[in-house]
Structure 1
């Protein structure tokens, strides 16, 4: 790709319509990293948060030591939570070495979007100990949607080495005063064949809230 086309792509990423920016980013993903990363690095410090967000997305397409360092630097100075959530998504392209960075980001930032994004990513990371540590923090979050995402994430631990710890937490959550927590606990329990999970579901099927009852009944059918 010649310099004039690269210049055009950078211009579209800075000021094009959303669909044009997406198309330009797709084209840049096909470029060699040594040509694409300098463009993305310049965009990553643009005053426009949308430019920075597209830059971060693009860096995930070129997982090199240089792009990882740029993302690490951005973690320390990026003020926008939408961009931070996108940084989390891009970091996952770097595999296991991204997991400590994601955990640290979760601990530092309490915005719901960033935290929910990280929980969802870590569910795919195959590092259950880290996921459980993040879930425990998420369960204490004041934002109910973060708490619910954490409860649902417990389901992914119910068939692994941390099954008992996950069931202990779900046992507590099945007694929560907020019906939404009990509702999500019922859904998470559908992923387990353990006798404790079945007993909890049987109890939730008698819950005072009809949404909880419906979720528990459905979960009971799924794990028969």
Structure 2
């Protein structure tokens, strides 16, 4: 692209219309990292969190470029907006295994519900059941119920890994939680697990006092999903 075209592209990234910004971001993704990253770095310093979020998306498009990864890592250390941080988490995962320690660090450093749920969802897509289990167990103590529920559902993936025993132990405790939503999500997490301990838990949950828990346990026993 010519310098004038690049200037126009950068202007479009800051345009009021969302469709113009997205089109510009997609165009920028086709450019070499040496061209795209300086533009994204400037965008990432904008006072608007919407534009910083756009920059975070753009850095993900540049994976696996090391400068893009380093830029994201530096920005994570200074960003305070949860929406931007959640987008950064999505983008950093585009860089593969090197992103895992950084995602753990982000989860532990910030208790925002959106960021934590985003990281849990990302880790469910990874091939790191040990990391998913570690983060899920920490999230079980989260004060936000939706984060806790995301963690419980994450254990379903761990059940299908060599760490099945650890996941079953956690779900056994959750199955007797005084909070019905914990028991409800635990029942769903047990779907598809053929371990005798899982069957016993589902049998018990089918007699739960809460009808949502009973329905989830019955569905899980039939191999369905909520």
Give your verdict on TM over 0.5: yes
In structure 2, C-alpha distance between the alignment counterparts of 1:76 and 1:222, rounded to whole Å: 43
Partner of 1:206: 207
Partner of 1:34: 34
In structure 1, C-alpha distance between the alignment counterparts of 2:116 and 2:192, rounded to whole Å: 23
Unmatched tracts of structure 2, length 5 or more: none
In structure 2, C-alpha distance between the alignment counterparts of 1:170 and 1:110, rounded to whole Å: 23
In structure 1, C-alpha distance between the alignment counterparts of 2:192 and 2:148, rounded to whole Å: 18
Query: Per-residue deviation at 1:96?
Result: 0.4
Give SS of 2:24's match.
helix
> Any idea what the Cα deviations from partners look like across 1:111-151, whole Å, max 9, x if unmatched?
00000000111112211111111011100000000000000
Query: Per-residue deviation at 1:15?
Result: 2.7
In structure 1, C-alpha distance between the alignment counterparts of 2:131 and 2:222, rounded to whole Å: 31
Query: Per-residue deviation at 1:191?
Result: 2.8
Q: Does 1:98 pair with 2:99?
A: yes
Partner of 1:193: 194
Question: Scaled by the length of structure 1, what TM-score is found?
Answer: 0.97
Identify the range of structure 1 (1-10 vs 23-32) with the bigger mean alpha-carbon deviation.
1-10
In structure 1, C-alpha distance between the alignment counterparts of 2:29 and 2:130, rounded to whole Å: 33
Task: State how 1:56-135 maps to structure 2 within 5 Å.
Answer: 56-63=56-63, 64-135=65-136
Identify the range of structure 1 (57-66 vs 8-17) with the bigger mean alpha-carbon deviation.
8-17
How many residue pairs match? The answer is 223
Task: State how 1:46-65 maps to structure 2 within 5 Å.
Answer: 46-63=46-63, 64-65=65-66
CA contact 1:156–1:191 (8 Å) conserved in 2: no
Give 4+ residue runs of structure 1 displaced > 6 Å after superposition: none
Identify the range of structure 1 (102-111 vs 116-125) with the bigger mean alpha-carbon deviation.
116-125
In structure 2, C-alpha distance between the alignment counterparts of 1:132 and 1:191, rounded to whole Å: 18
Give SS of 1:12's match.
helix
Decide which structure has greater helix share.
1
> Any idea what the Cα deviations from partners look like across 1:4-33, whole Å, max 9, x if unmatched?
222112112113311111111111111111
Q: Calculate the aligned-residue CA RMSD, in Å.
A: 1.0
> Any idea what the Cα deviations from partners look like across 1:47-77, whole Å, max 9, x if unmatched?
1111100000000000211011111111110
In structure 2, C-alpha distance between the alignment counterparts of 1:76 and 1:38, rounded to whole Å: 19
Question: Scaled by the length of structure 2, what TM-score is found?
Answer: 0.96
Partner of 1:43: 43
Identify the range of structure 1 (197-206 vs 146-155) with the bigger mean alpha-carbon deviation.
197-206
